[in-house]
Chains A and B, each alone.
Chain A
Amino acid sequence: MLPTFMPVATQAAIKGLTPEQVESLGVSLILNNTYHLNLRPGLEVLRAAGGAHKFQGWNRNLLTDSGGFQMVSLSKFTTITEEGALFESPFTGEPTILTPEESIAIQHTIGADIIMQLDDMHKVSSLTVGPRVEEAMERSVRWLDRCISHHQSSGKTDTQNLFAIVQGGLDSDLRDRCLDEMIKRKDGVAGFAIGGLSGGEEKDIFWRVIRQCTGKLPEDRPRYSMGIGFAEDIDDANTEGLSKHAKDLRPIDDTCPCPTCTDGTSRAILHHTVTHETAAAHALTLHNITFQAQVMGRARTAIMNGIFPDYLRSFFAEYFGDDGYPEWCVNALRTVGVDLLENNNAKVIQGDGAKWEYAASMARQ
């Protein structure tokens, strides 16, 4: 059921909610972070529990990353060698190596439905252009081979789906070469993720890369656009915004189907409890997850009904109407034949706009 919204359960829990609550919100896929689960509870516990699904009581789909990204960003030093990523153990300070085989083995123990290859990334911002990008791209292809081979020899292909990660930074030639190589390995993978983007790059360029990849990837494999998230946790925005609502008895959004809004939880009681009571955080999380899943669900419906351009136009009008449309979104969508400004004289603003990530997840369709 794609596209879908995937909440992040870094530590095998989603911000104060129980898995039953998350499921009741209509969520069917969550993300666990391999790096974090490897530290806590650790593989011994996960193995004894029979995997992360059972450990956290989540019966639906689960996705894990390779663990490499957090290792690179959270460790003091990391060196990439052909063998793997060398880093300082957070436990002992000893040099430790994460190989492609090790990453897959860890993900096998966690047992997620969708697992990721280990790819070569350095501190990501420095890796979107330059000679190191080519080296990383080529190594990621070689590591994909090692991941596929380890995955197949472990006999886990029936229960866990391995995704390749397309690298190549912002260089369109490198992206093409990477796409070609990885598509050749299509039979060994269940889907493709688009990596090597930091989210910090120019949005026009970012979007061009996404489009280049989606244009080329095989239709019969799902795609996962990494690093695209919903910008704000809406509770942060609301924490700010709620201060104006001390006596406002309306819910956050009276058209929202979440338990918080349908119960009529007022902005006033949220204002009264937010930052003091975890129950207020739970109420906001129930709303946020529902809101984000709704955005994705409506997009999916629009795609199926062939009215995605209309959906985009109404989404932009609703979401960016007052603040102005980011220019890059307007440009990007125009190149795929969607004119956001058709019958609409909305304000267009330079730069990202505060809410660009929403637009990004739309644009990648």
Chain B
Amino acid sequence: MPSGLQFTLAHSDHAAQFGPRLGTLILRRPNGCEITLDTPTLLTSTSRGVVSHLSRDHVRQSSAIRWVHVPFETFLEQSPPVPTLQTGPHPLHRFLGFVPQDHILSTSVRDPDDVRQMPPNGPNYLAANSLRGVRKITPNEWRTYTDKIQPDFVIALTDTPHTPPPFSQKRLTKSIERSSAWLASLLSPVVSAVTPTASTDLTATDLSQAPTNASDIAATKPAVLVHLAGAASHPARSAFAAALLEPLSDIERASIGGLPTLDAGVAGYTIDLAPLRIAISSSPVSPPASSDINPSTNITSSLSALLQTSLTRLPRTKLRLIYGTLGPHDALHLLRDVGTDVLNASWALHAAHVGVSLDFVFPAPTRDTSPTIEGDSAALQPLGRNLYAPQYALDFAGLSTSGNTCECAACAPHMPDTRIVHGSDASEEADAYVRARRAASASADQANDGGDDDSSANLRNPSYTRAYLHHLLHTHEMSAHALLALHNLAVAEAFLQGVRTVLASSGGVDRFANEVARFEAYYAEESLTVGAPREEGEKGGIMAEARAMWAQVELARGKGRLAREKERAVAGGTEAEP
């Protein structure tokens, strides 16, 4: 791990290999700025380099968006990939509009959620997906690109089969060999012998190997994460972990800058759940290597068992990043049974895309005293609301159930700090307006409690209402999805904040298990991810309902839009609505 990076687990006395973890990740940039994230932390996914539905100003307003993951494959549409042409410090941040002081960027070639079938990877290339068809990318190219774009974390190429499972043992062996070789290629020094230094959990000897000062390394070499390969096979997963830990020969060491093992060069491990789920659901899971874990037909427990097999011998103090949870229940199970430090929540954005506003908290509310979404307080509560539904047309409440405070730009919009001035007199007009607002809010304050005089904090507009979002969804207005994305990401981050608070309390690990049980007894489990395979017998919930209504509006409005575009084309204009 580059020494600009520090990851510390709390409860270091509690040395269980698996189970909920609480930690702190600090990234120090060469210019002295520092990003601190409490873990488990939220990872926000991007599509074609942007957070779906959010403009850059919205991304920056969102305190939930701190760690952003960028699948790189769509940039392979141009040669060379355009982000590699960006000049200046932090090229990837700059190209995509993320802020080096606020945002940690990680990148992988493939979108970890994309499980469409692909042509097979080759011995020395990965098949990536772009709008211009399949692109081949070699380990060397990946190293060259990522050295140029300078993300904070780069995920080594991994040979995940995207052909129909089940996979033969031969295929899995090949997958492991390629993945290790591709990792070694990423770890090999580019020009001068710059060695990634050891992470804080390693010994003092390891740390002393750092050849140059910390800032130089952080500026030139992103931290490397490795995907734990082996698909749904316990023996294959064990074998891959063993390959990471295997002492290297002198020749091998020399080629990767003197590292004793491959594992010594990585800052942590990633696990892509989406392809793993497909592998599990279409093939019988081979028994785990260690006999004390009982394989189950349930996908989630199969997943946990497979992840445990991978992690069982790997140092517990390195970062773990799990990509592809289906919703909060799934996330809680993995936190409890395996333990992870970074979790993506693509589901928050998926829900926003189909008009669902999330509304859940961890720890779950107490049943008798809290307002509920469904009238019957004994029933399992849904995780949010399908705002297409007719009952919201006249519902002027905010997006969260009363009592759940949300500080997102939809629930707590603020009057803008600045306005662009058009014409020399416009600033006077704007100033007059702002003065009037301040005066109004100050007098309202006095009338209310005579107290709080923080007037700028009071220049807050009321929460957007369910009724307004309902209207925007039915009129096919894009701002519905922007507001929902901001809100849902805030709910996901608050959920993880809740997890951290429980873990930080005394007896946190045991309390956490109890709270997971209470959460399961309070909220109905449902996959919030579009396109994830359903477990047998799983019923459609708010997501299924919202998806159906979303499709109806899309069809009706989409049709109207096409007709309008046609008219404009006839009238001589051009129209290309995104």
Contacts and interface: CB of A to CB of B under 8 A. Distances in A.
A37 B216 CA distance: 59
B437 to A, nearest CB: 7
B490 interface: no
Contacts of A12: 468, 471-472, 475
A20 B573 contact: no
Contacts of A56: 468
Interface stretch (B334-342, B413-421, B449-457, B540-548): B413-421
B21 interface: no
Interface stretch (B10-18, B45-53, B300-308, B521-529): B45-53
Contact of B479 (A18, A48, A266, A276): A18
A315 B54 CA distance: 34
A49 B477 contact: no
Contacts of A263: 56, 97
B242 interface: no
A239 B576 contact: yes
Interface in B77-115: 77-78, 82, 85-87, 94-97
A324 B6 CA distance: 62
Nearest to B131: A276
Interface string A1-32: 10001000001111111111101111010000
Given A57-B413, A264-B94, A301 B423 contact: yes
A123 interface: no
B433 A60 contact: yes
Contact of B422 (A59, A268, A298): A298
B475 A40 contact: yes
Contact of B478 (A15, A269, A272, A297): A15
B393 A257 contact: no
Given A1-B426, A16-B482, A49-B396, A23 B415 contact: yes
Nearest to B74: A272
Contact of A278 (B433, B478, B575): B478
A57 B464 contact: yes
Interface of B: 47-58, 74-75, 77-78, 82, 85-87, 94-97, 131, 393-394, 396, 409, 413-426, 429-430, 433, 437, 461-462, 464-465, 467-468, 470-472, 474-475, 477-479, 481-483, 573-578
8 contacts: A25-B420, A26-B420, A26-B426, A40-B474, A236-B575, A275-B576, A279-B52, A297-B426
Contact of A13 (B49, B96, B472): B472
- For chain A, the bracket of interface size reads 35 or more
Interface of A: 1, 5, 11-21, 23-26, 28, 36, 40-41, 44-45, 48-49, 54-57, 59-60, 232, 236, 239-240, 246-247, 249, 257-260, 263-266, 268-269, 272-283, 286, 290, 293-294, 296-301, 304-305
Interface class of chain A by DSSP: helix
Given A18-B413, A240-B574, A247-B82, A280 B50 contact: yes
Contacts of A257: 420
A236 B462 CA distance: 34
Contact of B53 (A55, A247, A279, A283): A279
A297 B409 contact: no
Contact of B481 (A5, A54, A278): A278
A258 B573 CA distance: 25
B409 A20 contact: yes
B478 A282 contact: yes
Nearest to B437: A59
Contacts of B394: 44-45, 48
Contact of A18 (B393, B424, B483, B575): B483
Contacts of B433: 28, 60
A48 B471 contact: no
Contacts of A44: 394
A59 B461 contact: yes
Contacts of B416: 20-21, 23-24
Given A11-B475, A20-B409, A60-B433, A277 B48 contact: yes
Given A297-B422, A300-B423, A277 B471 contact: no
B263 to A, nearest CB: 36
A246 B424 contact: no
Given A13-B475, A45-B471, 16 more contacts: A11-B477, A16-B479, A16-B482, A24-B57, A25-B419, A26-B420, A28-B429, A28-B430, A45-B394, A49-B465, A57-B462, A239-B576, A269-B95, A279-B55, A282-B54, A299-B423
Contacts of A269: 49, 82, 95-97
Contacts of A49: 396, 465, 467-468
Contacts of B47: 276-277
A251 to B, nearest CB: 11
Contacts of A286: 55, 57
Nearest to A13: B477
A23 B462 CA distance: 15
A18 B82 contact: no
| Minimum-distance CB pairs A-B, first 4 | A297-B422, A297-B423, A16-B478, A24-B416
Nearest to B80: A247
Contacts of B131: 276
B499 to A, nearest CB: 29
A286 B131 CA distance: 27
Contacts of A59: 415, 437, 461
Contacts of B97: 263-265, 269
B195 to A, nearest CB: 33
B74 to A, nearest CB: 7
B70 to A, nearest CB: 12
Contact of A272 (B82, B409, B483): B82
Contacts of A26: 419-422, 426, 430
Contacts of B461: 19-20, 57, 59
A273 B56 contact: no
A260 to B, nearest CB: 8
Contacts of B437: 59
B578 A275 contact: yes
A274 B578 contact: yes
A148 B49 CA distance: 54
A57 B468 contact: yes
B471 A41 contact: yes
A352 to B, nearest CB: 11
A362 to B, nearest CB: 14
Contacts of B475: 11-13, 36, 40
Q: Which of B54, B78, B478, B574 lies at the interface centre, i.e. has the most chain A CB atoms within 10 A of its CB?
A: B478
